[in-house]
Chain A
Amino acid sequence: MDAKPIYSSEKIVLNQHQYNKEQRFLLFKRILSNRLMMFGSIILILLTMVAFLAPIIATQDPLAINATARLQAPSSEHYFGTDNLGRDLFSRVIYGTQASMVVGISVALISGFFGMVIGLYSAYNRYLDHMLMRICDGLMAFPAILLAIAIMAALGPKTVNVIAALSFVMIPTVARVIRSAALVVKEQTYIEALKSQGASGIRIIWVHIAPNTISQLIIQLTYVFAISIIIEASLSFLGVGIPAPDPSWGNIIYEGKAVIYNAWWMTVFPGMFIILAVLALNLFGDGLRDLLDPHSKK
C-alpha cells in the first residue's frame, strides 16, 4: 500500500479543482434538465441565426414587387405565399425577423444601460432617488404603447426612432428593478466595511453594488426584449413603427388585415413568428430566473 498522507495540500487543491468542475457540470445539467428553458433557448438561437443569415435564407428580394403573382397561396416556389403586391412572404418574414431582433436587442441594451445608471444612483442617493423615481412614476403612469405612439408621432416613423421610443418607455421599469436590487445590496455589511476601508461612493456603486445586481438585470432584460418585440409589432401594425416598404412582422400583419379572408397566410405566418419569439423569450427568462435566483431553487 502507498503510505502517502491523504490530506496533503496538493491533494486538497486537486479536490478543489475537481469540485469546481463538478459544480460547473451540475449547473450545466440543471440547464439541460430545464426542458422549457432549453426549448426557449433553442428557438431563440434559431431566430437569431435567421436574423443574421437573412440574406442567405431568404429566397427572393423582400421588396421585389411582382404584379402577376399577387396573393398566391403557399407553394413550393413561395413557401409562405405572396402578399398583395406579389412580394415573397417567406423572404419578408425572414427580413422581418431581422428587424424585430435588431429592435429587441437594441432596446434591451439601451434601456438596460440607462436603467442601470438611474437605478443605481437613485438607490445610492436619497435626493436623486426622490427626483428620478417621481419621473419614473410619471412615465409608468402612461400605458407603454400609448407613450410609444406619442413619441413616434413626434419623431416620425423610422427604425432608429422605434428603438429610441421603446428604450425610453422601458427605462423606468428596468430602473425600478435595479433600484430595489441595489437597495438590498446597499444594506449589506460589506458595503459599510468598504466605506470603513476608505472606498469612495463612485467605487462602491460601480465596482461593488453593480455586479451584485447583474443577475436581476439580465432576467429583466429578457422580458424587456420580449415586450419590445410585441410593442414594435403593435407600432408597425398601427403604421407608426418600421415604415413600409421595409418588412417587419407588425406591418406585414397590417397589410394582411385588409385581405384576411382571402389570404390567411399574410397574418398567420408573421403572427406565428411573433408568438414563437415572445414565448421563447419568456421561457428563457423564467428559466434564467430559476437558475440565478437562489430562492426559487427546487
Chain B
Amino acid sequence: MNNQLNVSLSPHIHGRETTEKLMFGVVIALLPALVASIIFFGAGAIITTATAVISCIVFEYLIQKFILCKPISITDGSALVTGLLLALNLPSNIPAYMVIIGSLIAIGVAKMTFGGLGNNPFNPALVGRVFLLISFPSQMTTWPVPAGFATGYADAVTGATPLAVIKEGVKNGESVSELMQAIPSTVELLLGKLGGSIGEVSALALLIGFIYLLYKKIITWHIPVSVIGSLALFTSILWVFNPDIYAGPAFHILSGGVLLGAIFMATDYVTSPMNSKAMILYGCGIGLLTAIIRIWGAYPEGVSFAILIMNAFVPLMNAYIKPKRFGEEIKNG
C-alpha cells in the first residue's frame, strides 16, 4: 500500500449536520412568512427584503475581506439569515437607504466588531432594527396596512398597528372592549390581516415555520414556548384583574412581533442560552419584559427590546445555570 493512512482521534464519523444546513433550514422556515408578506404587502415587501439580504451579505463580504482580512465565510448563510430577519422586522414601505443603514449596523456593528459568527452577544438583526427605530422613529412606526399583492412600494396606505391602537386608546381613557371593535378579530390576526412589519403579518405562516424548525430539530421548543407561555400568563392575570384597561392574552400573542420574535429571533443560536433550564428562564424573561414594555412602556411594541435585554443576560446564565450532570445527585431506585 502506498498511500498514507489518516490518523485522528475518535469519533471517526461525523453527523450530517452543518452550519450551512442549519442556516438554510431557518431560511426555509421563514419562507411561508415571506410569501404571506408578499401577498399582503406587495412590491414593498420584495424590495425591502431583497435590499436587506443583499446588503447584509455584501457588508459581511467587504468587512471580512478588507477590514478583518479573514477568510470569507458568506456561504455559511448566517448573513442571509440576518438580512432576512432584519427585513421581516421592518415596515414594507421603508426607504431603501434606511434598510442599507440597518444592514450595516446589523453586520458591521452587532456582528463583525465582536469577531463575526458565533461571538456576537446581541442578535444582529434586532440591533439593526432597534437602531433604525431610534434613528428614524416616524418611518419605523408608520406601518402600511395590508392591502394586497397589488400594493405599490411607495403608495402604501399607512395606519396604526393593533398594539398602537390599544395603547393610544387606553391612554385616552377608552376601554379595551370598545377598542377591540376597531382592530381585526383574533381569526384575522391569525391569518394575517394586521398592519405591522413585513414578517409579523401572518401568525399562521410563522407557526408553519415553527413546526418546520421543530421537525428538522433546528431549534428546541423551550424558548418559543416559554416566551409565549409567560406572556400569555402575565397578560391573562392582568386581563382577569381588569379587562377594561388590559387586553387579553390571545390579542397579545397574535398581534405584533411576538411570534416572529419568539420563534426566529429569540432562538438565534449565538445569542441564546445553551441548556434547557437557562433557555426557559431566558424565554420567560423575554415574555415578561415584552408585556411590561407593551403595557407600561413608551413603545407600543417591546419584543425587540425584550430580546436584546435578555441577550445581555445570556453569558451570565451560561455561567451560572448548569444542566444537572449525570450522577451529580445520588438517587438509587
Asked whether A and B interact, the reply is no
Which residues of B does A touch, CB under 8 Å? none
Which residues of A does B touch, CB under 8 Å? none
